[in-house]
Chains A and B, each alone.
Chain A
Amino acid sequence: MSEVNEESESIGMPAPTAWPMVSAAGVALAAVGIATNPFISVAGVMVLMVAIGGWLRELTPGRGEIEETWVPVDQRAREVVASSRRVAQPRAGLPGNRSHFPERVHTYASGVVGGLLGGGVMAGTAMLYGVVSGRGIWYPINMLAGIVLTRFDDVSKLELERFSVTAFIIASLLHLTASALVGLFFEIVLPTLPKSPVFWGGVVAPLMWTGVVYASIGILNPLMSEHIVWSWFIASQFAYGLTMGIYVVNAKKVPASHIEGASTADGRDHESQS
C-alpha cells in the first residue's frame, strides 16, 4: 500500500483558501440581518459577492492547486504484512471467522407461508369465539380493526357486532401482514434458539405476547381491554403459534449461504479448493 513513488517528489492537491468560509459568513450575515437590521443583510450580500469573486478566481487554471511534497519515509504507513496468526479453523458446532451462523436456515418462504397458515387458524378460532359467545362472527374482526380505526374507540357493543366493509378490509390487511411478518421473524430467529422449536413458537411466544398485551392494554387502551375475553385471546394466540411453529419446523432447511447468496461456510469450500 505504501510503496514509495520514486518518480515524483510531490502531488497536486487543492490549495487552502478562505473564500468558502468568507462566503458562508456572507450568507450568515445576510440571514442575521433579517432578524436584526437590514443593513447587516446588505453588508452580508456584499461580502458574499466579493467571496464568490475570490472563489471563482481560485478555479482558474494555474491557481487553486498546490504541490504537496510527500511526507518523509519514516512517517508513512508501513506495508501491511501477512499475519503470522493462522486463520481460525472451523471448530465443531461453533462458527469460525467467516462462517455464517446459523449454518442452515429455513427459507424465507416457509416463514411467510407458516405465518399465513397460522393466521388462518387464528382467525378461525377467533371467529368461532364470536359465534359461540353470541356476539357474532364479525366481533373479533371489528376489534382488530380498532387498533387503527379510531371510530371504534368508544362505541357500543352493538356496533362492534355489525359487519363493516372498512373494518373488514383493514382487519384483513393487518392480520395477513402481521401473520406473515411474525412467521418470517420466527423463521429467522428459530435456528438461533436452543432445541424444541415448537415449544418456542407454540408456548413461549404466545404466552409472552399475551402477557405483554395484558399488562399494557389496561393503561394504553382501557376501552379495548373491557371487550377482550382473555381465555379466547390466549386460545387464538396458541392456535397461531402452534400452527406456524409446526409448519416452519417441518419445512426444509437450506444452507445459510443460499439465502445470503455470497460467501460460504468457513473453511469448507476452501479446503475442497486446496
Chain B
Amino acid sequence: MAIAEPTIESPAPPLVTRLHGWVTTVDHKRIGLMYLMMSLFFLVLGGLEVIWIRMQLWSANNTLVEADTFNQLFTMHGTTMIFFVVMPMIAGFANYLIPLMIGARDVAFPRLNAFGFWMSLFGGMILYLSYFTGEALYGAGSAPDVGWFAYAPLTSPAYSRGSSVDYWILATLVSGVGTLTFAINLIATIVSMRAPGMAIGKLPLFVWMMLVDAWLIVFAFPPFTAAQVMLLMDRHLGAHFFDTQAGGSAILWQHLFWFFGHPEVYIMALPAFGIISEVVPVFSRKVIFGHTTLAMSTTAIGFISMGVWAHHMFTVGLNDGLDAFFSAASFLIAVPTGIKIFNWTATLYGGRLRLHTPMLFALGFLSMFLIGGLTGVMLAAVPVDWQVSDSYFLVAHFHYVLFGGSLFALMAGLYYWYPKATGRMLDETWGKWHFWLQLIGFNLTFAPMHISGLMGMPRRVYTYQAGQGWEIWNQISTVGGFVMGAGFAVMFVNLLWSLQRGRIAGDDPWDAWTLEWATSSPPASYNFETIPIVRSRRPLWDKKHPEDPDWIHE
C-alpha cells in the first residue's frame, strides 16, 4: 500500500530553536526518546570499553593495557551498561508507551518526569567526567576501578585514594534519584490515568509488568541510595560503616548492595518480559496464552526477587541455614519464570507466525534467556556456586540473562515501536542483518565463557598464563565481540537511514491491538483527539472485528 509523502512540511525551524525545544520539553514522548538516545549513546561507550577488554584477553600475557587500566575498563563497562544503557532504555520505552497504551494524554507529573531524565543523563556524565578530572581531593584518581558492585573495603580511603570511587558513588546516586522519580511518576500515571473502561485486569501486559517493575524500583533503590550516602560519609567524614579496620563491616556493604543488586536484575528483566508479551501475540496472530497467569507470575517474581539477594554472597561465609534459605528461594523463582516461558511458547504454538525483525529478536530472547535461566538455577545450588563463583562461568551466565534477555527484548521493542515514534519503518533487510550478526556474535562471545569458566579462568584478571587451555576460548569470545559490534553498527545505520528514507509506516503497520496504534505515527503532543473508551484487553481488535469482539469472551 503506497501512501504519499506528507506534503505539509513547513520549513524546519533553526537548530537552536529545535534544541531548545528538546531541552525544555515536558512531553512524555520526547522525554522517552531522549532516554533512548541517551541509552544508545552510552551503548557505544560501554561497547568500546568491552572491545578493549576483549582485545586485551585475546592472548596470554598480553600487554595491550595495564592491570590498572583493565580494572577501570571492566568497572566502567559494567556500570555503564547497567545504569546508563539498560535502565534508560527501559525508562525510554515506558515513558514513550505507557500513556499511549493506557489512553492518557500525558504522565501524572510531566515536569518531574523531565527532571528524572536529566538526573539520569547528568549521572552518566558525572561517571565519565572521572576520565577527565584526575587531580582531586587526594591528588590522584581517574576512572573508577572497583567493579560495578564497589565492594568494601576496596572503596575505603585506604585502598582507593583519589576520587575515582566518589565519581562512581555520585554518578549512580544522581541517576538513581532520577530512576526513583521515574518510577513514582509511572505508578501514579498507571494508577490514576487509565482510559475509561481500562480496569486493572485489562491493562496491556507491558503496562502491568512495568507497574510491578516500578514498585521494585521503589523498594530497591532507596536502600542503595542510603548505602551510597553511608559510603560517602565513610570516605569524607570519617564514619566507619564499611571500614573493617575501624570496626565497620564489609559484609554490610554486600548486604545493602545486593539487597538492591538482585532486584535490579529483575528490574531489567521485567520490562523485557513485557515487550515480549506484546510482540509475540501480535506476530503470532493469536491472543496471548494465559494473560492472568502471566500477570500473576510477574507479581510473584517481584516478591520473590526481594528475598534472594544473599545468593550473591554464598562465598563470603554466611551460615549454612542462611545459605540454604537463599538457595531454596532462588530455586523457587524458576517456577513463575518457567510459567512465563511456557505461556509464550504456547502463544507461538499453532499461530500464524510473521517472522519480521521484532519477532526474530523476540525468539532470540526466548532461547537466550532460557539458557541464562538454566545456568542461573545451577548457580543457586551452593556447592556449584562455590565452584564457579567469580569465574567466567558467571560472566557467561549473567550476560545470557542481561544481554540475551533484556537487550534482545529491548531490540525487539525498538523495531516494533520505531514506526510509531518516527512515522517510518526500519528497514527489514538491515534489521535481519542486525539480528543475525547479534545472535551469532552473542553466542560466539558468551558461550565459550562457560567453558573457560569451568576450566578455572577467574573473572577480572587482566591477563593469564599460557598453556592452561584458555587461549582458544578467549579468542572465540573476542571474535564474537567484533561480530556483535558489526551488528550494532548495522543497527545505527538503519536507525539513521530509516529516519529519512524508511517506508512510511501509517498509524498501525503491524495490524496490532493495543491503544498506541490508534493514534497517528508520530502521535500529536496530546496523544489522542478524543480519549478512547476501552471494553477489553484488545481495544483495536474489537474495532477491527465487530463480528467477534473480545469483550464477549473476557
Q: Which residues of A contact B (CB under 8 A)?
A: 1-5, 11, 13-21, 23-25, 27-28, 31-32, 34-36, 55, 58, 68, 70-72, 74-78, 80-83, 86-88, 94-98, 100-102, 146-151, 153, 166, 170, 173-174, 177-178, 181, 184-185, 188-189, 192, 216, 219-221, 224, 260-264, 269-270, 273
Contact = CB atoms under 8 A, between A and B. Distances in A.
Contacts of A5: 529-530
A102 B350 CA distance: 10
Contacts of A11: 105, 526
A260 B290 contact: yes
Interface string B256-298: 0000000000000000000000000000011101111100000
Interface string B24-40: 11100000000000000
Contacts, number: 233
Contact of A16 (B24, B178, B349): B24
A13 B106 contact: yes
B342 A188 contact: yes
Contacts of B388: 220
Contact of A221 (B111, B167, B291, B383): B383
A261 B292 CA distance: 8
B324 A149 contact: yes
A41 to B, nearest CB: 11
Nearest to A87: B548
Given A78-B507, A80-B518, A263-B287, A68 B526 contact: yes
B370 interface: no
A33 B361 CA distance: 43
B384 interface: yes
B106 A14 contact: yes
Nearest to A102: B346
Nearest to B530: A3
Nearest to B281: A97
A95 B101 CA distance: 27
B115 interface: yes
B218 to A, nearest CB: 20
A-B residue pairs, 3 tightest by C-beta: A24-B118, A28-B122, A20-B115
B545 A17 contact: no
Contacts of B384: 220-221
Secondary structure at chain B's binding surface: helix, strand, loop or mixed?
helix
A171 to B, nearest CB: 10
A116 B384 CA distance: 26
Interface of B: 6, 8, 21, 23-26, 105-106, 110-115, 118-119, 121-123, 125-126, 129-130, 133, 136-137, 163, 166-167, 170, 173-174, 177-178, 232, 236, 285-287, 289-293, 320-321, 323-324, 327-328, 331-332, 335, 338-339, 342, 345-346, 349-352, 378, 381-384, 386-388, 454, 507-508, 511, 518-520, 523-526, 528-530, 532, 540, 543-548, 550, 552-554
Nearest to B454: A219
B409 to A, nearest CB: 23
B126 A19 contact: no
B553 A24 contact: no
Contacts of B382: 147-148, 150
Nearest to B201: A262
A188 B126 contact: no
B324 A20 contact: no
Contacts of B526: 11, 13, 68
14 contacts: A20-B26, A27-B119, A27-B174, A28-B123, A31-B170, A34-B232, A75-B520, A76-B524, A77-B529, A95-B349, A153-B383, A177-B332, A192-B345, A269-B553
B111 A55 contact: yes
A28 B127 CA distance: 11
A146 B173 CA distance: 41
